[in-house]
Amino acid sequence: MVERDNELKGTTFTISVLHLSDGNPTRIRQLLAAKVALAPQFFNCAPLVINVERLAAIPDFEQLRELVESEDFVLVGITGAKDEAMKTAAKAAGLAVMVSGKSRKAEPEPEPAPAPKPVEPVIEAAPQPEPAPLLASKVHVGPVRSGQQLYAAGTSLVVLGSVSPGAEVIADDSIHIYGALRGRAIAGAKGNARARIYCQQLQAELLSIAGTFQLSDALPAGLIQEPVHIRLDNEQLRIDRIK
């Protein structure tokens, strides 16, 4: 048996961010409860980061942690802190102080190295990689009923019917629904940002592609009950009518 040393590696996770305009506990609780009610399984024990950029004063972070965790989220840190006092208060409450990738300052580019002297190239035929095996799409015939969950691991999901409220369809690739989408659709479940969602009637409780999600209250009113396809565009979900 080969023993391996512990390793520290970087990776990327999708985490929901709660943007606060004030620290009113009642409004925060109402907002979180409303989101959880729309998709209980999706948000159960989900990590959460609080954006404090709009706050004028330092909130009670201990109280915020208790409030967030009472709604079954896990508060892991803050972002948008504008001064050291805010960061110190967050750290004292055991929260991480995070900086989004877009707000990091670019490192100065190093001076270019002198160009190497030209060398006659040696051309060798590169071995052709074996094509990855294709997985057939998972096809479900009939409706997906409330409380039912379908998962297409490593492939796309095709539903020849409608998805009822409270039902959930998940695929590592794209999702095609030949009927009404009234439940939750989660495409690119393992991070495939090229995945898409197609449906004949849009009435979804939740849409998600590669961790970026949108709830029913944010759906464009003009596209409700219309045939649409959904894709990622600049880290946001874009919904277009199928013509």
Residue 31 has a pLDDT of 78
Q: pLDDT at position 134, please?
A: 65
Q: For the chain, 243 residues long, give each residue's pLDDT as a single digit of tens.
A: 556 666 665 555 556 778 888 777 788 887 777 777 666 666 667 787 888 888 888 888 888 888 888 887 888 888 888 888 888 888 888 888 887 655 554 445 566 666 666 655 555 555 666 665 668 999 999 999 999 999 999 999 999 999 999 999 999 999 999 999 999 999 999 899 999 999 999 999 999 999 899 998 889 999 999 999 999 998 899 999 998
pLDDT at 3: 60
The half-sphere exposure of 81 on its side-chain side, counting CA atoms within 13 A, is 22
What is the reported pLDDT for 170? Answer: 95
Q: Retrieve residue 185's tokens.
A: 């659709």
Q: How far is CA 155 from CA 63, 171, 176, in A?
A: 43, 7, 12
Q: Which two tokens stand for residue 139?
A: 């096809």
Spatial separation of the C-alpha atoms in residues 178 and 242, rounded to whole Å = 13
Whole-angstrom distance, CA of residue 102 vs CA of residue 230:
24
Q: Take residue 15 and report the two structure tokens written for it.
A: 């985490």
Determine the pLDDT at residue 143: 96
pTM of structure: 0.53
Rounded Cα distance between 181 and 204, Å, is 5
